[in-house]
Amino acid sequence: MQQTRILALALVAPALIFLAAILGWPLVQAVILSLQDVRVIGAPAAFLGLDNYLRVLTSGAFWNSTGLSVAWVVGNAVLQTVLALAVALVLNEKFAGVRIARSWIILTWIVPTVVVVIIWRWLLSTSGGMINPLLIQAGLVDRPIGFFSTPWTAFATLIFINSWRWFPFIALMMLAGLNRIPDDLYEAARIDGANSWQRFRRITWPLLAPTLAVLAVIGTLLSFNVFDIIWLLTSGGPAGGTRTLPVLIYETAFKGYRLSEAATMSVLATLMLMAFAILATRTLDRSDRQ
C-alpha cells in the first residue's frame, strides 16, 4: 500500500509542480504586493503590513461591488440553468435535424466577446436598434427602452447577454448528462402511465441533479470573474450600477494607480471563491456518499 501511494505521488508530482508554478506563484506575488504600497510598477515600495486589508474591508465600494458580484452570479446561474435545461431537453428528443441543431446552438459560445458586444449594443440601441421597434410593434412598450440608461436595467441586460453567451455550453453539458439516463427508465414509466411532467420530476431531475450541481460550482467560479462583457458594454456604469468586483479591481489598479489595494481585493476575492469551492466540493461528496 505504501509503495502504491509513493508511485501515485511520483506520477502526479510533475503536474502538481507545474500547477504550483503556474497558479501558485502569481498568487504569492499578489499576496506580497497586497502587503506593500505600490502605485507604479517598478517604483520603490514601502511595507504596510495589513493596512491595505483594513482599508479594503472597511470600504463601502468593496462591499457594494461584492454584493453586485453575488447578485450577478445568482442572476446568471438562474437564467443560464433555465435556458440550458429547456434547450437540453429539446435537443435530447429525436427529430429531424437534431444533429444540426446541436452543432448550431454552440455558435453563440464560440463567437468572440467583442463581436457579441457589438451585436447586442446595436440590437439594444434606442436609435436604429431592432429590439425596441419590435417591442413597440408588439404593444409591450410605448416608447424605446434605454437598456443601459439606469443601473437596474443595465445590470439586468448584462445578465441576459452573458447568459445568452454561455447557456449553450451548459446545455451541451446537460445534454451529456441526459444521454447517460437509460431509456428503459422512461419506457417503464410510460407503461406505468406516467405523463411527461411525472417522468421529468421522478426520473430526469433526480438523475440530472449531480450534473447540475457540478455545473453550478463551475458556473459560479466562472461568472464571478467575468469582466470583458461588463467593461465593454457599460464600464461599470451607469452610476456604478454594474461595477462588480473584477471591474472595481481593474479601476483601482489602472485608473486609481493603487496596485497594492487592487491586489488586496484580488486576494480577498480568491479566498472567497476558494471557500465556496471547498464548501461546495464537500457538499457534493456528502451527496455522493448518501
- Phi and psi for 221 in degrees, rounded to 5? -65, -40
Measured at the CA of 264, the angle between CA 262 and CA 265, to 5 degrees, comes to: 65
* 14 within some domain: no
Domain count along the chain: 1
DSSP string of 248-287? Answer: HHHHHHHTS--HHHHHHHHHHHHHHHHHHHHHHHHHHHHH
* 139 within some domain: yes
Domain containing 183: what range? 60-289
* 152 within some domain: yes
Q: What is the pLDDT of residue 154?
A: 94
* 6 within some domain: no
* 101 within some domain: yes
Q: What is the pLDDT of residue 25?
A: 84
- Cis, bond preceding 133 (omega within 30 deg of 0): no
Output the domain CATH number for residue 112: 1.10.3720.10
* 116 within some domain: yes
Give the number of C-alpha atoms closer than 13 A to the C-alpha of residue 250, restricted to the C-beta side. 14
CB of 229 closer than 8 Å to CB of 116: yes
Cβ burial of 148 (10 Å; 0-12, 13-18, 19+) is buried
Angle of helix 245-254 relative to helix 60-91, nearest 10 degrees, comes to 130
Residue 145: how many other CB atoms lie within 10 Å: 18
- Phi and psi for 55 in degrees, rounded to 5? -65, -45
Report mean pLDDT in 10-residue bins for the chain, 290 residues: 76 83 84 87 79 92 95 92 88 80 79 90 88 88 89 94 90 87 85 83 85 83 91 91 95 90 94 88 68
Q: What is the pLDDT of residue 290?
A: 58
Q: What is the pLDDT of residue 194?
A: 81
Return the C-alpha cell found at 136. 413597440
* 201 within some domain: yes
| Residue whose C-alpha is closest to residue 264's, from 36, 39, 25, 23 | 36
Q: What is the pLDDT of residue 54?
A: 94
Cross-strand pairs, 37: 46
Q: Give Cα 226 distance to the centre of its chain.
A: 6
* 12 within some domain: no
| Residue whose C-alpha is closest to residue 29's, from 17, 12, 41, 15 | 41
